[in-house]
Amino acid sequence: MARAASAKTQTRIQKEKSELILSAALEVFAAYGFRGTTIDQIAAEAGLSKPNLLYYFDSKDAIHEQLLEDLLDTWLDPLRSLDAEGDPVDEITSYVIRKLEMARDFPRESRLFANEILQGAPRIMDQIAGPLKDLVDEKAAIITGWADAGRIAPVDPYHLIFSIWATTQHYADFDIQVAVVLGERADQRFDDAAAYLTNLFTKLLRPSEG
């Protein structure tokens, strides 16, 4: 575990150094993955000596663990906001937009998570099997309730959530491909994606009339 993170309190300078290290590590991990990253690379990116970095974090594993812990908490916030009392279509399409905004605003974090999953999630399996699954189960039950009440079209709630993850996180994990293919339209890709995905999921979810 990171020394800095394990302390009850940090001075302002210690907190700034810890955040600097985590930001630098995020850049390196997102580019090279866990296996391709070294402490020396992180220290260089942060502009610190290796001994100085190791004062705050004991190892590469400790830095990676802290990043993933912070990431998962942030990553689940939009799904936590899905409100059983709200309008179902509005709630789900709003979730789509929040996930798309995260892909736009946190591309490095998305790639860090994707790299971990591609390796079999060895460092976050407990979180995936625990808090993440529990939250998805909770929201899937809400979506099923909406469908059973006829408020949305019949839909598999888990595959609906998976499809939202796939269609939104694509814009972070494959951003360079999206930008190249779109060419001159690349600058408006997130606005266009928001309009397209809102229309797509609205049509999927709207109950049939009659």
- Alpha-carbon gap, residue 101 to 47, rounded angstroms: 30
Is 130's pLDDT higher than 70?
Answer: yes
Domain at 3-58: CATH code: 1.10.10.60
Closest among 114, 90, 86 to 171, alpha carbons compared: 114
Average pLDDT, the chain: 91
Per-residue pLDDT band at 118 (split at 50, 70, 90): confident
Average pLDDT of the residues in 52-74 = 90
Q: Give Cβ neighbours of residue 5 (< 8 Å, ≥ 6 apart).
A: 18, 57, 62, 66
State the pLDDT at residue 5. Answer: 45
Angle between helices 107-118 and 88-105 (to 10 degrees): 90
What are the tens digits of pLDDT across the range 157-198?
Answer: 999 999 999 999 999 999 999 999 999 999 999 999 999 999
Question: For the chain, which residues make up each domain, given as ranges?
Answer: 3-58, 67-205
Do the beta carbons of residue 15 and residue 23 sit within 8 Å? Answer: no
Average pLDDT of the residues in 12-38 = 90
- Alpha-carbon gap, residue 19 to 13, rounded angstroms: 10
State the pLDDT at residue 116. Answer: 87
With tokens 């039950």, the residue in question is 141
Token duo for residue 90: 């509005």
Report whether CATH 2.50.20.10 matches the domain 67-205. Answer: no
Task: Indicate the Cα dihedral angle 37, 39, 40, 41, nearest 10°.
Answer: 40
